[in-house]
Amino acid sequence: MIRKMILGVLALGIFATSCSNDDDGSTPSPATSTLTIDFTGLAPLGDNYVYEGWIIVDGAPVSTGVLTSLTFPQTIQIATEQLAAATKFVLSIEPESDTDPAPAATKILAGDFSGNSANVLPAPVTTDASNFLSSTGKFFLRTPTDEAAGSGNNMNDEYGIWFGTPGAPPTAGLDLPTLSAGWKYEGWVVVEGVGPISTGTFTGFAEVDDSNDFSGTENNAGPPIPGEDFFLNAPAGFTFPLDVRGRDVVISIEPDPDNSTDPFSMKPLAGTAGNDTAPTTYDLALNLVSLPSGTVSR
């Protein structure tokens, strides 16, 4: 008798537990699968910005999370159904305290899935990143912003650099891919023992750039190409007028907005200024090793 009562109590308990599990409204966690990411060439972003990954599912972005480390490869668990349906992977630069659920315009890497993997290439360009393979550039030394109208050359051309071919007016000398929203090009002159100094940011190669902070007083708008004369408002550590001869020259790709006064890690063109001023021009060489790339697999 006692044994039967105990078995009856146990049966009721099991039945009650079963009913409770059926009725508590809980939903089983979705199955997950592994996404493996392996990138090279990513630089630390400094304060207030982070890298965030995304998969594109049915045309909509799904976050794969913020990168907390730049050591690769890394694995991420993603809902199996979403990962299987993903057609593209994107890596963007986001504000650290970001309330926008969509990716920012500053997408640094992207690639389409082919089967279970995707090669990701620089995303700041509006077309295929392989267009960087044919990029070229040239520059000359001249100080047009220190020349009064009609006065001619002041014979101090070593203090200015302009990305183009000398002429009246000078013509564009950069052949680079058009950048997508969220990015700009920027010119730099590197001063040994001090650091890089900007010539200004730009997106067009046959128009003035966004800065004339250091130019002379006579015609400080400059010619219709990116560049800068170094006469006024020297930053701390720099001595003006700045002689550009013999110095390294770089074109970088910068996020916009930009939280750093230093060049970003992507520097597709680089060269060195010689001793001769205009009409001599100097070539910028490809520096593809500075561009990030990688693979993702599922």
Stronger pLDDT, 10 or 289, i.e. the higher one: 289
With pLDDT > 90 as the criterion, what percentage of the chain qualifies? Answer: 69
Amino acid at 235: P
In a domain, 262, yes or no: yes
Q: Are residues 164 and 145 in the same domain?
A: yes
In a domain, 14, yes or no: no
Q: Up-side HSE of residue 268: CA atoms within 13 Å toward CB?
A: 23
Residue among 176, 166, 236 nearest 205 (CA): 176
Mean pLDDT of the chain, nearest integer: 88
What is the 3-class SS of 184-240, one letter each residue?
Answer: EEEEEEEECCCEEEEEEEECCCCCCCCCCCCCCCCCCCCCCCCEEECCCCCCCCCCC
CA–CA separation, 67 and 74 (whole Å): 9
Residues in the chain: 298
In a domain, 170, yes or no: yes
In a domain, 15, yes or no: no
- Choose one of 76, 97, 125: the last residue of a domain: 125
* Total domains in the fold of the chain: 2
The mean per-residue pLDDT over the stretch 47-76 comes to 95
- Residue 136 has φ and ψ, to the nearest 5°, of -140, 165
Structure-block tokens of residue 33 = 């699968």
CA–CA separation, 278 and 168 (whole Å): 12
Q: Are residues 75 and 222 in the same domain?
A: no
In a domain, 203, yes or no: yes
Under the banding of pLDDT at 50, 70 and 90, the label for residue 128 is low
- Choose one of 98, 125, 152: the last residue of a domain: 125
Q: Which residues contact 16 (CB under 8 A, 6 or more apart)?
A: none
Q: Are residues 102 and 198 in the same domain?
A: no
Residue 273 is predicted with a pLDDT of: 98
CA–CA separation, 254 and 245 (whole Å): 25
What is the CB neighbour count within 10 angstroms for residue 260? Answer: 13
Query: If you search the block for the tokens 């970003």, which residue do you land on?
Result: 264
Q: Are residues 156 and 277 in the same domain?
A: yes
Q: Are residues 203 and 266 in the same domain?
A: yes
Q: Are residues 95 and 215 in the same domain?
A: no
Give the β-pairing of 117-122 and 183-191.
unpaired
Q: Are residues 166 and 190 in the same domain?
A: yes
Amino acid at 64: T
How many angstroms separate the Cα of 104 from the Cα of each of 49, 54, 180, 255, 267? 11, 11, 12, 11, 21
In a domain, 250, yes or no: yes
Q: Are residues 284 and 144 in the same domain?
A: yes
> What CATH number corresponds to the domain at position 179?
2.60.40
In a domain, 2, yes or no: no
Worst-scoring range by mean pLDDT, 66-70, 101-105, 111-115, 293-297?
101-105
Residue among 48, 106, 90, 47 nearest 253 (CA): 106
Burial of residue 255 (CB within 10 Å: 0-12, 13-18, 19+) is buried
- Residue 290 has φ and ψ, to the nearest 5°, of -80, -10
Q: Are residues 142 and 268 in the same domain?
A: yes
Burial of residue 276 (CB within 10 Å: 0-12, 13-18, 19+) is middle
Residue 6 is predicted with a pLDDT of: 39
pLDDT tens string 133-182: 889 999 999 999 886 555 556 789 999 999 999 998 999 999 999 998 89
- Choose one of 125, 149, 178: the last residue of a domain: 125
Q: Are residues 138 and 273 in the same domain?
A: yes
Domain of 150?
130-291
Amino acid at 264: F
Q: Are residues 105 and 157 in the same domain?
A: no
Q: Are residues 40 and 142 in the same domain?
A: no
Is omega for the bond preceding 279 within 30 degrees of 0, making it cis? Answer: yes
